[in-house]
Structure 1
């Protein structure tokens, strides 16, 4: 680090304290509370390759959001964005966990909200949950469905904004590949990238 920032270890410890306390996630939540609501919640998840050095830690891999696939260790960042593609909520899960399992926690308050998702979220229990919360689910049905659920393709195409969000935050090397052993420090950088994305545009 540049010398004007002081000792690198002091900077790291300061960052680690904030990461453990959830300061960066709280900053994003505060900003979302003031600027995020536009009546839409678009959800999706993206895989993040885990560097081999991030796997060396005493804590159980699942507790650190590490999953295992044919390609090795990976994590999955679940995101909920608004219609403009700005982050509303972020969750870290193991890469081998299906994204629909994190959907309820990710969505939060559903009053008067339109929820967009891809076929991976085609689940009747999730639709019931969204309806019970006062929202409307616009999720296309899978090919093997006998009855096609309510869906408006013209609005459903807006799902692209969450893919665009992932493309923007993955410009940051620290987000695109996970080098952090701790889930807290990795998600601190993901939340920082999401905040920078709010400010940038």
Structure 2
């Protein structure tokens, strides 16, 4: 039996499709195979929202194998990420991106169906299906939308992923100009308070708001004048750190993100990226 659902609930609207269609691979160059992009993407959206098995997709999305294979393909070849970046570029060109960003992570339960993934090497992060938890590390703009995403095993320390998350911020310019990689400011909690991260941000001229850990503060004060000055801290700016928490809440509205059902790590990253793309399209 297939998953039940309302006829058109959650599908791409005409306005959303108008933004997305020109960005899709081979949308105007290839016959047959790519003509059903919209139907297939609607099937992927349904699975994102419900977390149902691929084979139980409603018949209105066509062959479930086609929907499944295209999501696998776009996750493997990295199609989802440039789609997200292009939609971000449209928003940036309209002045709709708040570049005071925040960084955090969230843990995701790995469903038992995600265990036992084959070991064939995909061109993406390795599968961690043997663990009970997965982590999604992300940056979010000031309007609670994910800018960049990194997936790791659940026990990976948040601070080790700060630079990878920052380095994945890459918003193209619609006209001439360099890619936008640097935010106006960056905020994070005490987990990210260490010298390497602060040095990384200083080298790039990024203003940052990260509270100092109590033990670091005690050690600095214990050294007297040799301990240096305390890092700057803007309490008002730090209050805006909840934007990344709200972005996480938006991502986890998608059941296939809140629980990992994908066996392969790179497919789960594609799932997260597709969800982020929808958040931007619908913001």
**Global fold match (TM > 0.5):** yes
Q: 1:121 aligns with which of 178, 183, 192?
A: 192
Task: Please report the RMSD computed on the Cα atoms of aligned residues, expressed in angstroms.
Answer: 2.0
Name the one with the larger strand percent: 1
Q: In the alignment, which residue of structure 2 is the partner of 1:162?
A: 244
Q: Give 1:74-113 correspondences, 5 Å limit.
A: 74-108=133-167, 111=182, 113=184
5+ residue gaps in structure 1? none
Alpha-carbon offset, residue 66 of structure 1 = 5.1
Change (3 A) 1:198 1:18: same
Q: Give 1:2-13 correspondences, 5 Å limit.
A: 2-13=58-69
Q: 1:67·1:94 contact (CA, 8 Å) conserved in 2?
A: no
Change (3 A) 1:94 1:38: same
Aligned counterparts of 1:5 and 1:155: Cα–Cα separation in 2: 45
Q: 1:81·1:87 contact (CA, 8 Å) conserved in 2?
A: yes
Greater Cα offset, 101-110 or 8-17:
101-110
Alpha-carbon offset, residue 111 of structure 1 = 4.2
Q: Greater Rg, structure 1 or structure 2?
A: 2
Q: 1:64 aligns with which of 109, 112, 127?
A: 127
Q: 2:74 aligns with which of 12, 18, 21?
A: 18
5+ residue gaps in structure 2? 1-56, 170-180, 221-229
Question: Per-residue displacement from partner, 1:148-194 (whole Å, max 9, x unpaired)?
Answer: 42111111010001101111111111010001001122122211211
Partner of 1:193: helix, strand, or coil?
helix
Q: In the alignment, which residue of structure 2 is the partner of 1:142?
A: 213
Question: Per-residue displacement from partner, 1:47-84 (whole Å, max 9, x unpaired)?
Answer: 00001221212339x8224574xxxx111001111111
Q: 1:43·1:117 contact (CA, 8 Å) conserved in 2?
A: yes
Matched length: 196
Which TM-score applies when normalising by structure 2? Answer: 0.64
Aligned counterparts of 1:59 and 1:141: Cα–Cα separation in 2: 42
Q: 1:122·1:140 contact (CA, 8 Å) conserved in 2?
A: yes
Q: 2:115·2:130 contact (CA, 8 Å) conserved in 1?
A: no
Partner of 1:42: helix, strand, or coil?
strand
Aligned counterparts of 2:282 and 2:99: Cα–Cα separation in 1: 22
Partner of 1:63: helix, strand, or coil?
coil
